Chain A
């Protein structure tokens, strides 16, 4: 601990004198150290929605004076002695980070995270997800620290609670099992439904995990129950959004309702549910439809229709459709969520002079790769009402018919 503080102090003095930093360290120790050094230097960490060069470039344009850490090529930190190990004070009002979410217009929307926002949020999160643990918890995360879910758990919890974080980010199921085996008990795994489903299906089994924390996408009750049974653990599902941070949790294998932290006030309005809290810089309109059921409980009903969530990334279908239709040669087209349960988007496109590879190639530079529709099926025209509005039920039916015909070929 003393060593860590000394290193962060030493690194803070060596950082470029710039206001914004994008921290791309994959090693979680290095990420945490650089994050703390930036705090000490009064710099704000930008959390880009992905690592694509174009994204980093456009962020650097919007935030002049941005530099990137963790892309390699940096000098290693010389050995430092821990002569000043006092825990530094960070001003409450300091802008610690900005997380970006895709808005309905396509331009990433900034969510300001003041240090007080992180402090109050993390203290609340610790009580929600750590069950008043009396001894130090050893945490392993499969999600990157650059994402809000990874930030709130693997970076902030170790700063505010008795949590030790592993520096590795295992990816394949066998890597997760090996990394867990290397940790002392009690062990907590921070993950996402995609990684957990792969773990389950791979047949790799590891016991001795006290608890699995999962977020970023809906977890099915079946998967939650299967994980609990075969790994001998408890699965706590975490609900939140980049704007509010962690909001609520439930044990999905058993619970229907979510229990939210009482630092938040949830209010039903005409537009949806608004979240307010003393530690948030502004009220947040929840991108989900929920039903308030009791003082600190709610039931999740669905997402606002336009928003999709693929692999922990939120995107607006309206925006993706704009990008699709602006491709030269596309006469008409729609990207939508099919009922096939593949977790991917699909598209029906009218473009007599383009083939599917052309369309995908053009989309690749316009939208985040996780949202690339597959399959893309070419049609002579889309089912539209006389008003021009797309009939999404007819789109789904047409897709189901064409897709099964394709698979029979």
Chain B
């Protein structure tokens, strides 16, 4: 696994915090591992809660009909890239 960037680590902390994943160490999330289903096994309620936490922290509204967005929620790395791009 390639290490997390500083922003990715911040996002990992937000994710663990917002979703109450007490068994997950933010620094241990593989940035290229799938967040949903396999990997961390998040579900659709998590997606809504995570989206809300992202809206509150980075002031961006997520949209599922955006094709990039479907890709964005794939891994920590793609989600962070989406946020960096849209909060600029």
Contacts and interface: CB of A to CB of B under 8 A. Distances in A.
Same complex for A and B? Answer yes
B22 A356 contact: yes
A137 B38 CA distance: 40
A406 B20 CA distance: 11
A171 B48 contact: yes
Given A194-B45, A198-B52, A370-B43, A357 B23 contact: yes
B81 interface: no
B51 interface: yes
Contact of B47 (A170, A171, A204, A344): A171
B57 interface: no
A372 B21 CA distance: 11
Interface in B27-41: 41
Contact of A342 (B20, B52, B63, B65): B20
Interface residues of A, number: 32
A370 B42 CA distance: 9
Given A203-B55, A342-B20, A174 B63 contact: yes
A174 B43 contact: no
Contacts of B64: 170-172, 175
Nearest to B42: A369
A375 interface: yes
B23 A356 contact: yes
A198 B48 contact: yes
A201 B49 CA distance: 10
Nearest to A201: B52
Contact of A374 (B21, B44, B52, B65): B21
Interface of A: 168, 170-175, 178, 194-195, 198, 201-204, 310-311, 342-344, 355-357, 360, 364, 369-370, 372, 374-376, 406
24 contacts: A171-B44, A171-B47, A171-B64, A172-B51, A172-B62, A172-B63, A173-B51, A174-B62, A175-B65, A178-B63, A194-B45, A194-B48, A195-B48, A198-B48, A198-B52, A202-B51, A342-B20, A343-B45, A344-B20, A356-B22, A370-B45, A374-B21, A374-B22, A376-B23
Given A171-B48, A198-B51, 6 more contacts: A174-B62, A198-B48, A198-B52, A201-B56, A202-B51, A364-B41
Interface of B: 19-23, 41, 43-45, 47-49, 51-52, 55-56, 61-65
